[in-house]
């Protein structure tokens, strides 16, 4: 597992397709950034399960993180430390995938998060 390429599961892709329609946000990476932030904001540990990255949605880390990639990387490393894991490349990559998929579940599962206004409101409430 590596941070060079971020790849999603088919169920996560399907949720993102619906979110692209309802929010009007057309870029996978933007929705994925929101998803990651929502999951990292939740202090509970994600239910760890094997995530099969079997969809055709794939992006480089540079595309995923954009100009703030270093910040996302630091947040992931900090989360590893907070969860009691060494922030190795393997653990950081695993944290990314687990949190990204949990966050996509949050985005698709909460009606207020299916609009741009709802996304912004969720951040303003924090």
Phi-psi label, residue 84: left if phi above 0, alpha if psi -120 to 50, beta otherwise: left
**pLDDT tens over the chain, length 126 residues:** 568 899 999 999 999 998 888 888 899 999 999 999 989 999 998 887 778 888 888 999 999 999 999 999 999 999 999 999 999 999 999 999 999 999 999 887 766 666 666 666 665 555
- Residue with the two structure tokens 């939740």: 42
3-state secondary structure 29-80: HHHHHHHHHHHHHCCCCCCCCCCCCCCCCEEEHHHHHHHHHHHHHHHHHHHH
What is the reported pTM? Answer: 0.86
Domain boundaries 5-124, CATH class: mainly alpha
């Amino acid at each position: 597992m590596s941070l060079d390429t971020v790849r999603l599961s088919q169920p996560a892709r399907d949720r993102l397709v619906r979110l692209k329609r309802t929010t009007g946000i057309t870029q996978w990476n933007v929705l994925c950034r929101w998803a990651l932030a929502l999951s990292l904001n939740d202090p509970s540990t994600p239910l760890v399960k094997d995530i099969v990255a079997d969809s055709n949605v794939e992006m480089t880390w540079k595309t995923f993180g954009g100009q703030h990639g270093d910040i996302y990387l630091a947040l992931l490393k900090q989360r590893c430390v907070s969860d009691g894991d060494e922030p190795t490349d393997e653990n950081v990559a695993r944290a990314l995938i687990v949190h990204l998929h949990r966050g996509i579940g949050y985005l698709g599962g909460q009606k207020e998060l299916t609009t741009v206004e709802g996304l912004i409101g969720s951040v303003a409430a924090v």
